[in-house]
Amino acid sequence: MVTVNKEEVLANMQDVLVRTEVEFEKPCTYVTVKMKNGFTLRESTTCVDPANYSEEIGKQICLEKIEDKIWFLLGYALQSEFSKA
């Protein structure tokens, strides 16, 4: 069966960098993931009310978005390889 699985997605996430900066008086979380081939993906989050801000929640949201992007990219690469057969 030709497919991409969760383990492949996670295995491609080699390094994760998380940083938070204050912009326009609101904290913003930036997450950058370096894939095993050196390609990088970045996502960001912020909040409506800084009193409710959580870097951990922001990080989790960003990682979920990045995982979705990796899933898409791996699916594209697999389809490209599969179409050559």
Q: List pLDDT tens digits, range 10-52.
A: 999 999 999 999 999 999 999 999 999 999 999 999 999 999 9
Confidence of residue 81 (pLDDT cuts 50, 70, 90): confident
For residue 18, give Cα distances in angstroms to 25, 28, 59, 72: 19, 11, 7, 22
**pLDDT the model gives residue 85:** 65
Mean pLDDT of 58-84: 94
Question: Please, what are the domains in the chain?
Answer: 6-84 (3.30.160)
Cα radius of gyration rounded to whole Å, the chain: 16
The pTM assigned to this predicted structure is 0.90
pLDDT band at 61; cut points 50, 70, 90: very high
Report CA-CA distances (Å) from 42 to 35, 65, 75, 80.
11, 9, 19, 24
